[in-house]
């Protein structure tokens, strides 16, 4: 009995490889096809949710679709009409909508983009998700410094409206349709995404074979299924990367950036503007190189940079506390913050969610998403809550703690994280759950 799951996984891989071999011999192309208008439009619609999530992450501006639309409206001028007490209630309710929708969008958007993108450009398409995230945070910081939060909240409803309208015109994920037995609809959705002139035979067959074998073994998505040995690496890598992302200091740097610059003596508005500009540029760089060098390589480089960024920031405040190199503290603190945020935009910010989406088999995607969201947001709250206390305890110590955690993260990435570049989702999932 103990060998049965392994044999089933090996059979899935053998069926996929057999189908691919047959199709290659029959001169069928790989089905990736051109980048079609519907693929771009579908991705744009999904990314509206990411943009909204980013504005909410930096300042409770808006978030995904209806939740964001209602949340942003309630957080804005509508509250003024109800007096101080009514405004407080609407503000709280609006922020509740934002939080719920943020929890959904941070997982659903990358999963959807991963499932609809051709494998040869999947990395670039998912890197756009990180680019949009950092762009939304940067734009919110810049616009928020020039206008009131009420106006900002109303402006932030725009991407929510665009996404809500776009959802009526985009296809469902072909893999989700196939998983639920709607094979004809799955093929139609895949053909629509790849273009009418693209031969999707190979890709459609690969998806169909994998889902059929999966349905023979699993009937439904059960939360406790995650804790079976076959999913140990998937869960370990996914949870590990998200814990590294948060406990490495992401929320502390993001929410308390102004405090960091103020304490170091660097002008706050200039520091935020420079950081936002650098994030935009490095996000574009990440978009260009993610499919060339792969997820694992970028994660390794990004984790090293995250460690160095916190170390530089910590050393800046350490020297300041001993009245050493005071003239250099502001600029060295800025350098540390910039290095840290470059690591976020190049890899640590978006790739963990992408890899969770790529590695998790569709039969446990819902349960895995729940566990990953719970872990990520719990760590987010923990870092947000403790940063101010730690910063008051020791302005340098808090960053040394983040640097140590990031250093351990380097070892984790090198030891545990697989490379997924250039492989179909079915290949990745069959291999990692063996």
Please tell me whether residues 352 and 203 are part of one structural domain: no
Q: What is the mean pLDDT of residues 152-165?
A: 80
Distance of CA 185 to the CA centre of its chain: 28
Look at residue 11 and tell me if it is in a domain.
no
The burial of 356, by beta-carbon neighbours within 10 Å (0-12 exposed, 13-18 middle, 19 or more buried), is given as buried
pLDDT at 87: 60
Please tell me whether residues 158 and 195 are part of one structural domain: no
Please tell me whether residues 94 and 42 are part of one structural domain: yes
| CA distances from residue 210 to 29, 175, 207, 434 in whole angstroms, order as listed | 19, 10, 5, 14
Residues 230 and 32 sit within 8 Å (Cβ to Cβ): no
Please tell me whether residues 394 and 306 are part of one structural domain: yes
Q: Give the domain range for residue 199.
A: 179-212
Residue 31 confidence class, pLDDT cut points 50, 70, 90: very low
What does the block give as tokens for 219? 């009937």
Please tell me whether residues 321 and 396 are part of one structural domain: yes
Look at residue 27 and tell me if it is in a domain.
no
Has residue 6 got a pLDDT over 60? no
Instruction: Name the nearest CA neighbour of 416 among 238, 291, 290.
Output: 238
Residue 219 confidence class, pLDDT cut points 50, 70, 90: low
Please tell me whether residues 197 and 161 are part of one structural domain: no
| CA distances from residue 96 to 88, 90, 114, 162, 270 in whole angstroms, order as listed | 12, 10, 28, 21, 32
Please tell me whether residues 193 and 151 are part of one structural domain: no
Per-residue pLDDT reduced to its tens digit, 233-267: 888 898 999 999 999 999 899 888 888 999 988 98
Write the DSSP string, 296-352. HHHHHHHHHHHHHHHHHHHHHHHHHHTT-SGGGHHHHHHHHHHHHHHHIIIIITTHH
Q: What is the mean pLDDT of residues 164-179?
A: 86
Q: CA 429, CA 211: separation in Å to the nearest integer?
A: 11
Look at residue 415 and tell me if it is in a domain.
yes
Has residue 297 got a pLDDT over 80? yes
pLDDT at 57: 53
Residues 12 and 361 sit within 8 Å (Cβ to Cβ): no
Residue 181 confidence class, pLDDT cut points 50, 70, 90: confident
Residue 389 confidence class, pLDDT cut points 50, 70, 90: very high
Higher pLDDT, 177 or 49: 177
For the chain, what is the domain count?
2
Residue 313 confidence class, pLDDT cut points 50, 70, 90: very high
Residues 179 and 154 sit within 8 Å (Cβ to Cβ): no
Residues 95 and 60 sit within 8 Å (Cβ to Cβ): yes
Place of tokens 């910039």: 338
Q: CA 403, CA 374: separation in Å to the nearest integer?
A: 24
Higher pLDDT, 372 or 74: 372
Has residue 328 got a pLDDT over 90? no
pTM above 0.85, yes or no: no
The burial of 54, by beta-carbon neighbours within 10 Å (0-12 exposed, 13-18 middle, 19 or more buried), is given as buried
Look at residue 64 and tell me if it is in a domain.
yes
Task: Supply the angle between the helices 201-217 and 183-194 in degrees, to the nearest 10.
Answer: 150
Has residue 75 got a pLDDT over 90? no
Has residue 62 got a pLDDT over 90? no
Q: CA 326, CA 350: separation in Å to the nearest integer?
A: 35
Q: What is the mean pLDDT of residues 138-154?
A: 72
Please tell me whether residues 117 and 74 are part of one structural domain: yes
Look at residue 42 and tell me if it is in a domain.
yes
Q: What is the mean pLDDT of residues 262-285?
A: 84
Mean pLDDT of the chain: 78
Place of tokens 């040995």: 229
CATH of the domain at 238: 1.20.1250.20
Residues 114 and 80 sit within 8 Å (Cβ to Cβ): no
Please tell me whether residues 205 and 268 are part of one structural domain: no
Please tell me whether residues 98 and 44 are part of one structural domain: yes
Please tell me whether residues 107 and 187 are part of one structural domain: no
Look at residue 422 and tell me if it is in a domain.
yes
Place of tokens 């670039």: 124
What radius of gyration do the chain's Cα atoms show?
23
Q: CA 376, CA 145: separation in Å to the nearest integer?
A: 28
Place of tokens 């003024």: 80
Has residue 228 got a pLDDT over 50? yes
Has residue 14 got a pLDDT over 70? no
| CA distances from residue 285 to 155, 166, 337 in whole angstroms, order as listed | 28, 28, 18
Residue 143 confidence class, pLDDT cut points 50, 70, 90: confident
| CA distances from residue 80 to 18, 141, 299, 408 in whole angstroms, order as listed | 65, 23, 46, 49
Q: CA 312, CA 1: separation in Å to the nearest integer?
A: 53
Please tell me whether residues 207 and 266 are part of one structural domain: no
285-299, 343-357, 365-379, 395-409: range with lowest mean pLDDT: 285-299
What does the block give as tokens for 145? 């410094």
Phi and psi at 59, nearest 5°, equal -165, 130
pLDDT at 203: 84
């Amino acid at each position: 009995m103990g060998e049965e799951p392994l044999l089933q996984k090996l059979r899935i891989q053998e069926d996929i490889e057999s189908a691919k071999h047959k199709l290659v011999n029959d001169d069928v192309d790989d089905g990736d096809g051109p980048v079609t208008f519907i693929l771009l439009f579908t991705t744009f619609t999904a990314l509206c949710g990411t943009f909204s999530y980013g504005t909410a992450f930096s300042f409770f501006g808006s978030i995904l679709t209806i939740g964001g639309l209602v949340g942003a409206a309630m957080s804005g001028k509508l509250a003024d009409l109800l007096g101080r007490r009514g405004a407080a209630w609407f503000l709280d309710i609006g922020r509740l909508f934002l939080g719920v929708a943020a929890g959904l969008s941070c997982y659903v958007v990358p999963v959807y983009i991963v499932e609809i993108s051709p494998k040869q450009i999947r990395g670039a398409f998912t890197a756009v998700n990180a680019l949009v995230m950092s762009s939304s945070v940067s734009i919110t910081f810049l616009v928020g410094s020039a206008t009131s939060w009420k106006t900002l909240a109303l402006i932030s409803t725009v991407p929510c409206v665009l996404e809500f309208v776009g959802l009526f015109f985009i296809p469902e994920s072909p893999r989700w349709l196939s998983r639920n037995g709607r094979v004809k609809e799955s093929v139609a959705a895949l053909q629509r995404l790849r273009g009418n002139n693209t031969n999707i035979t190979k890709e459609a067959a690969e998806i169909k074979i994998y889902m059929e074998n999966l349905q023979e073994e699993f009937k439904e998505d059960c939360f406790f299924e995650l804790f079976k040995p076959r999913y140990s690496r998937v869960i370990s890598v996914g949870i590990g990367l998200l814990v590294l992302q948060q406990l490495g200091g992401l929320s502390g740097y993001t929410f308390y950036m102004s405090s960091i610059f103020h304490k170091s003596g660097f002008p706050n508005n200039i520091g935020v503007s420079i950081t936002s500009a650098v994030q935009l540029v490095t996000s574009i760089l990440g978009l260009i190189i993610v499919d060339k060098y792969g997820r694992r390589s970028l994660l390794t480089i990004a984790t090293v940079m995250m460690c160095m960024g916190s170390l530089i920031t910590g050393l800046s405040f350490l020297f300041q506390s001993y009245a050493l190199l005071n003239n250099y503290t502001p600029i060295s603190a800025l350098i540390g913050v910039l290095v840290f945020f470059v690591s976020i935009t190049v890899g640590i910010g978006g790739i963990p969610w992408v890899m969770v989406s790529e590695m998790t088999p569709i039969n446990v995607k819902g349960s895995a998403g729940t566990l990953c969201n719970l872990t990520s947001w719990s760590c987010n709250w923990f870092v947000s809550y403790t940063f101010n206390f730690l910063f008051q305890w020791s302005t340098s110590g808090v960053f040394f703690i983040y640097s140590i955690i990031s250093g351990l993260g380097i070892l984790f990435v090198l030891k545990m994280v697989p490379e997924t570049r250039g492989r179909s989702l079915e290949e990745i999932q069959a291999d990692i759950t063996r």
